[in-house]
Structure 1
């Protein structure tokens, strides 16, 4: 089961979220066409103005500030992707599933996390950290989120994200071994998550998708 803790919904009333179960990654050729389409949209948006002016990015900056973080030091994942796309003109290709999620994230300016479902121990909850959780970096180092930091914590005490949507864990990173995956999209600007979930569901069919609310916060993969 995936959910946001009640405290998160209380403290961030503008939160909008969606979750998807993807039974298997898309084929590389299929993914490439989807990525190209969504990156074209992202480039068109960037041509009209920098990512810092996007309402979705501004809302995440406000959320980071509310968490006591400098929004220009710790950026949400979608802002980091857009900055790289603006600088380099493209995004690196990592894995078909990750590439699709990154492209959709850039097109909508909304963070999209892709987690290997087999690497999640029990339930997964977005909540405030106690400080005991263990976060495995992509470099193999083990960290502990600071008490009160927002993280994706599973039943086994693994922290699958740092600073909410800033950085994912290497433990549940999608790889060549990944079968089923959990996809999570989150926004704070009060609209647009339905469109992000719909775009992901179309791109990753036959995914099972749900929009989450404070009254209906749970998604069961």
Structure 2
């Protein structure tokens, strides 16, 4: 089982910097209120200087959405949508401790972060253009079919776990109270992404260690090293448990 972006995605977006983490041992019975407060403060400080639309991280995603034929103010990347809501309401909804934490880190860095329940993913997961036959489960329980050429997170069973790349995740692999193993993906396209994404991934890994006592497996991908091997990561964690 692996995660990767298709060759076509790398060809179209050579500036892409994806960071990936695999973590096992997630529970919902933890309090992250104090942990997310610091990230919210960072986001508030950034928003006090510039609205989210003027942040380099968000502008890069707006250009990408335009390149994909999407209206950027109609379909926003996840971090822009969260920042916009945070600016307007001063807070974000509480969903699950891990999701709340990753959302807080996302707005602090202005970089989209996806958190996926691995038990709901069939086989390999690839960010690629849709064929038009894939199925996407909304959070309200409706099944949609992404249009051909739309960028999705697709598994081996033809399930789309995200639509319009970083716009919206699927209800199928959403983190819930019984989630145990997760794949966390952060993607950026702006000029300093090559240094910002590793910092973001390190921040999530540090929080996983502090809150859940989990040693996450992590990596930063590139066109020359585009694949994160989840099988190796899972086997290594199993060996560590046995030792």
What is aligned with 1:46? 47
What is aligned with 2:114? 113
Matches within 5 A, 1:13-24: 13-24=14-25
What is aligned with 2:190? 189
Structure 1 Cα separation of the partners of residues 10 and 122 of structure 2: 23
Q: Write out per-residue CA displacement over residues 110-147 of structure 1, whole angstroms, 9 at most, x where no aligned residue.
A: 00000000000000000000000000000000001100
Bigger Rg, structure 1 or 2: 2
What is aligned with 1:136? 137
Structure 2 Cα separation of the partners of residues 160 and 65 of structure 1: 22
Structure 2 Cα separation of the partners of residues 179 and 33 of structure 1: 23
Structure 2 Cα separation of the partners of residues 97 and 8 of structure 1: 28
Matches within 5 A, 1:44-83: 44-83=45-84
Query: How has the CA–CA distance of structure 1 residues 29 and 175 changed in structure 2, closer, same or farther, with 3 Å as cutoff?
Result: closer
Instruction: Compute the TM-score of the two structures, normalised by the length of structure 2.
Output: 0.89
What is aligned with 2:150? 149
SS in 1 for 2:9: helix
Q: CA deviation at 1:27?
A: 6.0
C-alpha contact (below 8 Å) 2:28/2:96 kept by paired residues: no
Out of 27-36 and 63-72, give the one that drifted further.
Answer: 27-36
C-alpha contact (below 8 Å) 2:135/2:144 kept by paired residues: yes
Structure 1 Cα separation of the partners of residues 207 and 27 of structure 2: 8
C-alpha contact (below 8 Å) 1:25/1:96 kept by paired residues: no
What is aligned with 1:167? 168
Structure 2 Cα separation of the partners of residues 208 and 32 of structure 1: 25
Number of corresponding residues: 221
What is aligned with 2:104? 103
Q: Write out per-residue CA displacement over residues 40-86 of structure 1, whole angstroms, 9 at most, x where no aligned residue.
A: 11111111110001000000000000000000000000000000000
Q: CA deviation at 1:37?
A: 1.2
C-alpha contact (below 8 Å) 2:114/2:185 kept by paired residues: yes
Of residues 222, 238, 243, the one that matches 1:213 is: 222
What is aligned with 1:204? 208
Instruction: Compute the TM-score of the two structures, normalised by the length of structure 1.
Output: 0.97
SS in 1 for 2:228: coil
Q: Aligned Cα RMSD in Å? A: 1.1
